[in-house]
Chains A and B, each alone.
Chain A
Amino acid sequence: MSDRRDGAPEAAIDAENAVDSAADAESADPASPDGGHAAATPSTHTVRLELVDEPGQLLAALHPIADNGGNLLSIYHERGNKTPRGRIPVEVDFEATPERFEEIVDALRSEGVNVMQAGTERYAEEVTLLLFGHLIDTDLSDTLSRIEACESASVADVSLAAPQGTEEVSSARLRLEARAGETDAALAAVRELADEKELRVVEPLTGVDA
């Protein structure tokens, strides 16, 4: 029920702290190398990344930031925590102009680094759905990992109800976090998987504040 990864409130607090440290950093290092080229002034950004727990991964994720003119301020490596995909969440604060910030996020993505959250924009639209059928016989953990494997979404929360035992029909409520604008793609992926496993999906009415 509670393997939901750290939510927005904490991130928001961190971002505030980061603003303070940004002010310090600015006075300490006023001449950021490319600052003069951009019309907009640099501001502090916080990105939340998801890294595979292997040597060199952190450095590989920091390169696209530094190489694209981001001024690194702090790195919070949550080694004790795991994301639902079993990866390590890392929070990075850096300074960059708005244009550079976009480039950095793109560069991170093209390096294959999963950006879960960038700045104030959460790369997560929440969507809740129900699955029912022979969930357990069709290997629920495989079902969940395959939803996880889909680029658009990760599984934030699962509740299972199997009132008639594991061999009968059971139901699950899934909360997915999808990247902004990719909820439809995430739902389509779930639908396809459900078809394959002969499960039924009860989708939410997305985009309707009923």
Chain B
Amino acid sequence: MKLAVIGAGAVGRSVVELAGEHGHEVVAVADSSTAVVADGADGRGGDAVGVDPDAVVARKAERGIVGDDDPEDALAADYDVLVEATPTTLGDAEPGFSHVTTALERDRHAVLANKGPVAERFGDLRAAVDDSDGDIRFEATVGGAIPAVSTVEDIEPGHVTAVRGVLNGTANFILTRMAAEGLDYDHVLAEAQDLGVAEADPSFDVDGTDAALKCVILANVLSFGAVDDPADAREFTLDDADVSGIRDVPGSALRLAAEDGQTVRLIGEATGETVRVAPRLVPENGTLAVSGTQNIVQIETSHAGRLNISGRGAGGPETASAVLGDVGRLE
């Protein structure tokens, strides 16, 4: 497959680097202000169809650009699958939403690593897919490397009663360290920032927004997947989620939990009817009490019992693996 990768952050760059290993070719890459399109400014002619991944990554690292073309050129390039890996935006989910619909209007596929469009405008996206020969996939938006969406699809959403789990590595790292070291939130947050586990502004992670978006996406998968006519499905957005974060959880609460053989994890839960993210008490040595930046997705099914999948919920190569897995499913 020929890929156009929009977004050159950790995930976009990893997709560019790993596409070849998966048998795909990157024909265009764009960041927010520059682009490179194969046979264009890259200067590679002749039989070479794809852009040179190493050159793209090097230019981005050294000069902060991916090439000398305009991002519009990348959107107009001759690709089979558009990979949307720009930062998640809320509300109208732009510009990610338009990138995806541009691909669909051209009857091309789109694979999203950007949570915004699938969390905030799922219904609009489904409508755009219905009018197109292209399709969308978005495994990378939930739980990084963990195959959450495709597992739900394999079981069939109508036979999944709930999906819950630990879906934010930053919050989980903080809670794990607080419990293990008896430290307070602010102390552990500073440590996480030093380690690069938490961002300078950690709100998105510690306030539960990121986990909530993932649960909203799962709720949409369950809701739309369980009906024949999309018009009958309930569409979820972040506004439908009941969210509370971990920012004010005191160390003393974790100590009291530990005395009782329990611990606290930021747990997200999605059904076809509700979305909830909150710190919850779980058994200290239980399945859901994963450590550090690990994530876990627990799928409750009607006939197949409970499935647990844990793994790395973030990271460039991990998330890129989910993206490229989606690309493979579209072949």
Q: State whether A205 touches B267 (Cβ < 8 A).
A: yes
* Whole-angstrom CA separation of A135 from B236 in the bound complex: 35
Does A210 contact B253, Cβ atoms closer than 8 Å? no
Tell me the complex Cα distance, A129–B260, Å. Answer: 10
A-B pair number, CB within 8 angstroms: 73
Query: Could you tell me if B255 and A202 are in contact, using CB atoms closer than 8 angstroms?
Result: no
Q: List which B277-305 residues lie within 8 A (CB) of chain A.
A: 278-283, 286-289, 298
Q: Using an 8 Å CB-CB cutoff, how does the interface string of A170-183 with B read, 1 for contact, 0 for none?
A: 11110000000000
In the complex, which residues of chain A have a beta carbon less than 8 angstroms from the beta carbon of B281? Answer: 128-130, 202-205
Q: Does B55 contact A (CB under 8 A)?
A: no
Task: Tell which of B249, B256, B289 has the most Cβ of chain A within 10 Å.
Answer: B256
For A205, what are the chain B residues with a Cβ–Cβ distance below 8 Å? Answer: 164, 267, 280-282, 288
- Cβ of A163 < 8 Å from any Cβ of B? yes
Residues of A within 8 A of B93 (CB): none
State whether the Cβ of A132 lies closer than 8 Å to any Cβ in chain B: yes
Residues of A within 8 A of B279 (CB): 202
Residue A188 lies at the interface, judged by CB distance under 8 Å to chain B: no
A162 within 8 Å of B (CB atoms): yes
With most chain A CB atoms within 10 A of its CB, the pick from B251, B264, B281 is: B281
Indicate if the CB atoms of A161 and B249 lie closer than 8 Å.
no
Tell me the nearest residue of chain A to B162, going by C-beta: A208
Which of B250, B257, B259, B288 has the most A CB atoms < 10 Å from its CB?
A: B250
Is A169 interfacial (CB-CB < 8 Å)?
yes
Contact (Cβ within 8 A) B259 A159 = yes
A200 within 8 A of B: yes
Q: A210-B286, A210-B288 are in contact. Are A132 and B252 (CB under 8 A)?
A: yes
Interface majority SS on A: helix, strand, loop or mixed? strand
Contacts of B282 in A (CB 8 A): 204-205, 210
Closest residue of chain A to B261 (Cβ to Cβ) is A128
Q: Is the CB of A171 within 8 A of B259?
A: no
Q: Does B102 contact A (CB under 8 A)?
A: no
Q: Is B88 an interface residue when CB atoms closer than 8 A count as contact?
A: no
Per-residue contact bits, chain A 142-158, to B (CB 8 Å; 1 contact, 0 not)? 00000000000000000
Instruction: Assign chain A's interface to a size class.
Output: 20 to 34
Residue in A163, A170, A171, A210 whose Cβ sees the most chain B Cβ within 10 Å:
A210
Q: CA A210 – CA B300 in complex, angstroms?
A: 12
A200, B248: Cβ atoms under 8 Å? Answer: yes
Given known contacts A200-B244, A203-B278, A132 and B288 CB-to-CB distance under 8 angstroms: no
In the bound complex, what is the Cα–Cα distance between A60 and B79 (angstroms)? 83
With beta carbons under 8 angstroms apart, the residue of A172, A203, A210 that contacts B256 is: A172
For residue B280, give the distance in angstroms from its CB to the closest CB of chain A: 5
For A130, A171, A172, A204, the residue with the greatest tally of chain B CB atoms inside 10 Å of its CB is A130
Q: Which residues of B contact A128 (CB under 8 A)?
A: 260, 262, 281
- Interface pair A171/B256, CB less than 8 Å apart: yes
Q: Is the CB of A132 within 8 A of B253?
A: yes
Q: Which residue of B lies closest to A200 (CB)?
A: B248
B231-262 near A? 1/0 per residue, CB < 8 Å: 00000000000001000111111011101101
Contact check: which of A129, A159, A171, A208 meets B250 at CB < 8 Å?
Answer: A171
Q: List 11 A-B contacts (CB under 8 A).
A: A130-B256, A130-B264, A132-B248, A133-B248, A159-B256, A163-B252, A170-B250, A173-B259, A200-B249, A208-B298, A210-B282
- The chain B residues found within 8 Å of chain A, CB to CB, are 164, 244, 248-253, 255-257, 259-260, 262, 264, 267, 278-283, 286-289, 298
Nearest 7 pairs of A and B residues by beta carbon: A210-B286, A161-B252, A171-B253, A173-B256, A171-B252, A204-B281, A210-B288
Interface residues of A (CB under 8 A from B): 128-130, 132-133, 159, 161-163, 169-173, 200, 202-205, 208, 210
Give me 5 other A-B pairs in contact (C-beta within 8 A), A162-B252, A204-B262 excluded. Answer: A132-B250, A173-B259, A173-B260, A202-B257, A204-B281
